[in-house]
Amino acid sequence: MFQYILPEFRAKRLLRAEMLEQLRDYPKNIVELALGGFTDGLLSGGDLSWDKGILTVSPGILYWKGRLYFQEKSCSIPCRSMDHMQYLKVRFADEQREAGQVRGAGEIVLETTETDSVCELELCRFFLQEGARPRVRHENFEDFSTRYDTVNLLYASYASQGERAMPPIMLKQYAKELLAFGTDNIYDVSFAMNILATGGNIQTECVREYLKARMETLSPEKVSGTEEYYKNLLLLLNRIKRGAMGVRRQAQGRREIKLI
C-alpha cells in the first residue's frame, strides 16, 4: 500500500526515539525512491560567472554516490590564464562521523590535472590563453565547441536517469535555434518544445531517439557521451539551417520575378 507516517509533536507529550527516526528517514527515503537509478552529477544550479579574475559557481545541488550535496552560497575561485587546459571540479572527501552526525563534503577546485571519476565530478573545463578572460556565455550552439577562452561543458556531469545528461543550457540553445529557422518537421518541433517545457532537463535517451529518427545514417547504439551527441546535433542543425536558407532564397527569387 501507499502511505506516509509523520510524527506529531505536542506540548507536554513524550518525545520518543521512534518519532526522531521517522524524521530522519523521511528525506532519506525520498532521495532513494525519487533518484534511484540516477547518475552522479548536477541536479540544479551550479551556474558560472566571471568577473575581474574571479570564477564564481552559484548555489546548487549535486547528486553523488546516493547522497545529495547542497551548496547554499556562491563559491568564488581565483582564475588566471595559464595557456593550459584547466578543470573546474568538485572533489569529494570520505564521510566523517562526528558528534552524532555523518558529514559529507565536496570542495570546488580549479586545477590543470584531469578529473578523477573515482572521487571527483567535473563542472567544466577551459583553455585560457594569456591575457584572455573566459567566456561563460555562449553566442550560439556551435560556440559550445570553441576550443580557446570559452567554458567547455561537454564533459560536465549532469545527473539523469540511466545515463549522464547533456547540459540543459546547451539543449535549450539548440531548441531556440531550431525553432528560429522555422522547421516544420514533426520530430524537430516536438523535440524542441519538450526541451523548452522541461528547462532542458531531458534524458539522453530522448536525444538518442531524436537523432535516430532524423539521421538515417546514424547508428545511435554506437554513440556515447555528451561530446558525440553534441557533434551529431550540430551536424543536423547545420543541415536544417542550410535547407531553410535555401528555401528563403528561392522564395525571394520568386517574389522578385513577380515584381518584374
Tell me: do 139 and 181 sit in the same domain.
no
Tell me: do 67 and 126 sit in the same domain.
yes
What is the predicted pLDDT for the residue at 54?
93
Classify residue 3: in a domain, yes or no. Answer: no
Tell me: do 136 and 182 sit in the same domain.
no
Number of domains in the chain: 2
Boundary-marking domain end, from 110, 145, 180: 145
What pTM does this model have?
0.85
Tell me: do 199 and 234 sit in the same domain.
yes
Classify residue 160: in a domain, yes or no. Answer: no
What is the predicted pLDDT for the residue at 8?
80
- Cell reading at 124: 567544466
Tell me: do 182 and 220 sit in the same domain.
yes
- Residue 164 near residue 39 (C-beta atoms within 8 A): yes
Tens-level pLDDT at each residue, the chain (260 residues): 877 777 888 888 788 888 888 888 888 888 888 898 899 999 999 999 999 889 999 999 999 999 999 999 999 999 988 888 999 999 999 999 888 788 999 999 999 999 999 999 999 999 999 888 889 999 999 999 999 999 999 999 999 998 899 999 999 999 999 999 888 899 999 999 999 999 999 999 999 999 989 987 555 555 668 899 999 999 999 999 887 544 444 444 445 544 44
For cell 536517469, the residue is: 161
Domain that holds residue 119: 41-145
Boundary-marking domain end, from 114, 145, 176: 145
Tell me: do 127 and 206 sit in the same domain.
no
What is the predicted pLDDT for the residue at 25?
84
What is the predicted pLDDT for the residue at 186?
94
Classify residue 131: in a domain, yes or no. Answer: yes
| Beta-carbon count within 10 A of 134 CB | 20
Tell me: do 139 and 223 sit in the same domain.
no
Tell me: do 62 and 136 sit in the same domain.
yes
